[in-house]
């Protein structure tokens, strides 16, 4: 009935008036959010489906409630379970952060020791994984190998399907964190035509990874401590970033109740895309294209005029509208790594000058474009001599901690169901089928 108002709920609510019917609806608000399912009561006729929200790319739709990671993009804040990223990067280890992400609290010494031992115990993979890796072409992209390798793990641990068994979830978490660097290192060695290096369980997580990457005939590989710490810090910085593309993929695929290896493989596939995990590569290409500090003003002018679709890669972020807090940490780390490597600082000098000019330029200030995490990470990986197409693999190893924590949070959330978005259908109305084909004809 026009002008009718639906029952007023208790607490805050959003009043919506439907101009088609004149009806007013009060939609409850909690956490500055309305439930789009509450819009379904808004109908013109009783047998209508009801109102939906249309939100391509989920730009303004919360798909879950989460207590893992907090981001305030305007203020440049990133916290895991309430702990500021700056403090974790300075003082914690990646394994401590991985534990924190999953359990919500920092581990006690005893818990940490046990966890580290469990991870170490599970670093080896079944020998068939090596043969599986051997089956790839010499020039296979390491992200394809990682995606397939992690998906294959599901066939080695079929009991991981018992996702409602807490012990199975626990062991899958440990196995994924422990075996990811091993499979990643196998992919690296395969591309180089080098023999695979088995894990060295006397080493730390980062040292062992670097050993599997770089060890040759020496009895024990001793990574430079600055490099090992840099890897650990970069893993901390990339460990989680709330509901980004790959994490949403893990949650969506996991919501079908598939095993966690398959769900994480979906996350790796999502991360492989250049719009997600590949920006640090693009920064390096851009720095090399600029080539010299004297070319920076011309490059900036090209970006501003939009000539040739040039963008300042490593700048801007969908969420951060101020300095990405991770970028500050990575910048400092980059300087330290370059110092011990003895490498030329040419790319770093160009990057720093580019940043200085961009941050004082009206174009970038007005659009709130600041360096993001990828602006300096590629430089660190380059100095450590990782091939460019390997950068995303490093990101994937780290993000495994967040993917599994988010997957488990989704599973234990009583409100979650199989992910199944709606659509606004724009195709043909019903029509009669009349075939253009002659099925009695044989194709010779």
- Enumerate residues 6+ apart whose C-beta is below 8 A from 78: 69, 70, 71, 84, 85, 241, 325, 326
Minimum CB distance to ligand CMC smaller for 44 or for 365: 365
Q: What is the smallest separation between the CB atom of 122 and ligand CMC, expressed in angstroms?
A: 28
Site string for ligand CMC, 371-410 (x = CB under 6 A): -xxx------------------------------------
Q: What is the smallest separation between the CB atom of 303 and ligand CMC, expressed in angstroms?
A: 5
The DSSP line for 257-294 is T--HHHHHHHHHHHHHSTTTT-HHHHHHHHHHHH-SGG
Q: CB nearest ligand CMC: which residue?
A: 316
Calpha distance 427→295 (Å, rounded): 50
Minimum CB distance to ligand CMC smaller for 254 or for 314: 314
Q: Is residue 317 at the binding interface for ligand CMC, with CB under 6 A as the rule?
A: yes
Residue list 125-154, contact with ligand CMC (CB under 6 A): none
Alpha helices of 292-436 — where are they, by DSSP H?
296-305, 325-341, 346-359, 362-366, 374-383, 391-412
- Binding residues for ligand CMC, rule CB under 6 A, total 17
Q: Is residue 186 at the binding interface for ligand CMC, with CB under 6 A as the rule?
A: no
Known active-site residue 276? yes
Residue of 103, 126, 141, 276 with catalytic role: 276
Known active-site residue 241? no
Calpha distance 167→279 (Å, rounded): 37
Q: Is residue 281 at the binding interface for ligand CMC, with CB under 6 A as the rule?
A: no
Q: Is residue 279 at the binding interface for ligand CMC, with CB under 6 A as the rule?
A: yes
Calpha distance 119→320 (Å, rounded): 33
Task: Single out the segment in contact with ligand CMC by CB under 6 A; choices: 212-220, 251-259, 316-324, 336-344.
Answer: 316-324
Q: Is residue 367 at the binding interface for ligand CMC, with CB under 6 A as the rule?
A: yes
Strands 77-80 and 69-72: antiparallel
Minimum CB distance to ligand CMC smaller for 199 or for 267: 267
Q: Is residue 316 at the binding interface for ligand CMC, with CB under 6 A as the rule?
A: yes
Token pair listed for 306: 């939009």
Q: Is residue 315 at the binding interface for ligand CMC, with CB under 6 A as the rule?
A: yes
Token pair listed for 310: 């040039």
Rg, Å, the chain Cα set:
25
- Enumerate residues 6+ apart whose C-beta is below 8 A from 409: 64, 66, 67, 68
Q: Is residue 247 at the binding interface for ligand CMC, with CB under 6 A as the rule?
A: no
Query: Which residues on neighbouring strands pair with residue 33, listed in sequence order?
Result: 30
Burial 61-71 (b: 16+ CB within 10 A, else e): eeebebebbeb
Calpha distance 128→186 (Å, rounded): 12
Q: Is residue 267 at the binding interface for ligand CMC, with CB under 6 A as the rule?
A: no
Q: Is residue 311 at the binding interface for ligand CMC, with CB under 6 A as the rule?
A: yes
Minimum CB distance to ligand CMC smaller for 367 or for 422: 367
Minimum CB distance to ligand CMC smaller for 115 or for 272: 272
Q: Is 223 helix (H, G, I), strand (E, B) or coil?
A: coil
Calpha distance 98→237 (Å, rounded): 11
Alpha helices of 19-156 — where are they, by DSSP H?
85-91, 94-103, 109-121, 127-134, 142-156
Known active-site residue 438? no
Q: What is the smallest separation between the CB atom of 330 and ligand CMC, expressed in angstroms?
A: 11
Minimum CB distance to ligand CMC smaller for 57 or for 429: 57
Q: What is the smallest separation between the CB atom of 88 and ligand CMC, expressed in angstroms?
A: 18
Q: Is residue 206 at the binding interface for ligand CMC, with CB under 6 A as the rule?
A: no
Residue of 232, 240, 317, 324 with catalytic role: 317
Q: Is residue 260 at the binding interface for ligand CMC, with CB under 6 A as the rule?
A: no
Of the residues 61, 156, 276, 411, which one makes contact with ligand CMC according to CB under 6 A: 276
Minimum CB distance to ligand CMC smaller for 42 or for 351: 351
Token pair listed for 48: 């209508």
- Enumerate residues 6+ apart whose C-beta is below 8 A from 338: 345, 348, 379, 383
Taking CB atoms within 8 Å and a gap of at least 24, the contacts of 5-10 are: 6/41
Query: Which residues on neighbouring strands pair with residue 27, listed in sequence order?
Result: 14
Q: What is the smallest separation between the CB atom of 271 and ligand CMC, expressed in angstroms?
A: 8
Q: Is 28 helix (H, G, I), strand (E, B) or coil?
A: strand
Q: What is the smallest separation between the CB atom of 91 and ligand CMC, expressed in angstroms?
A: 24
Minimum CB distance to ligand CMC smaller for 266 or for 369: 369
Of the residues 17, 35, 91, 318, which one makes contact with ligand CMC according to CB under 6 A: 318
Of the residues 312, 327, 396, 397, which one makes contact with ligand CMC according to CB under 6 A: 312
Q: What are the catalytic residues?
A: 276, 317, 374
Binding site for ligand CMC (CB under 6 A): 244, 276, 279, 303, 311-318, 367, 369, 372-374
């Amino acid at each position: 009935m026009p002008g009718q108002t639906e029952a007023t709920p208790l607490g805050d609510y959003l009043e919506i008036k439907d101009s088609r019917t004149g009806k007013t609806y009060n939609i409850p608000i909690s956490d500055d959010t309305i439930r789009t399912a509450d819009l379904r009561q808004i109908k013109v006729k009783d047998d209508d489906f009801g109102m939906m929200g249309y939100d391509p790319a989920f730009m303004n739709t919360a798909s879950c409630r989460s207590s893992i990671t907090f981001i305030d993009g305007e203020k440049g804040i990133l916290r895991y379970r309430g702990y500021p990223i700056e403090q974790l990067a300075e003082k914690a280890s990646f394994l401590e952060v991985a534990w924190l992400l999953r359990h919500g609290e920092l581990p006690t010494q005893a818990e940490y020791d046990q966890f580290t031992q469990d991870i170490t115990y599970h670093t080896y993979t079944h020998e068939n994984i090596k043969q599986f890796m051997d089956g790839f072409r010499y020039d296979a992209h390491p992200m394809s190998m990682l995606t397939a390798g992690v998906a294959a793990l599901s066939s080695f641990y079929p009991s991981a399907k018992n996702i409602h068994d807490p012990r199975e979830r626990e062991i899958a978490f440990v196995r994924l964190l422990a075996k990811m660097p091993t499979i990643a290192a196998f992919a690296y060695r395969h591309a180089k035509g080098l023999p695979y290096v088995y894990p060295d369980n006397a080493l730390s997580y980062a040292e062992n990874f670097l050993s599997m990457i770089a060890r040759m005939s020496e009895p024990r590989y001793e990574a430079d401590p600055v490099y090992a710490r840099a890897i650990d810090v970069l893993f901390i910085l990339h460990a989680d970033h709330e509901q980004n593309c790959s994490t949403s993929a893990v949650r969506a695929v996991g919501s079908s109740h598939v095993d966690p290896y398959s769900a994480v493989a979906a996350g790796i596939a999502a991360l492989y895309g250049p719009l997600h995990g590949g920006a640090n590569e693009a920064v390096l290409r851009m720095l090399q294209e600029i080539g010299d500090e004297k070319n920076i003003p011309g490059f900036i002018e090209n970006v501003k005029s939009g000539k040739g679709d040039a963008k300042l890669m490593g700048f801007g972020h969908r969420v951060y509208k101020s300095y990405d807090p991770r970028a500050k940490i990575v910048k400092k780390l980059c300087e330290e790594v370059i110092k011990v490597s003895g490498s030329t600082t040419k790319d770093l000098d160009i990057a720093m000058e580019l940043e200085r000019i961009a941050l004082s330029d009206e174009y970038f200030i007005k659009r709130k474009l600041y360096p993001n995490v990828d602006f300096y990470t590629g430089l660190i990986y380059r100095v450590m001599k990782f091939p460019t197409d390997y950068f995303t693999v490093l990101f994937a190893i780290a993000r495994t901690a967040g993917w599994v924590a988010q997957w488990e949070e989704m599973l234990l959330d009583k409100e979650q169901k199989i992910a199944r978005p709606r659509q606004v259908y724009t195709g043909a109305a019903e029509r009669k089928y009349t075939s253009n084909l002659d099925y009695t004809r044989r194709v010779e």
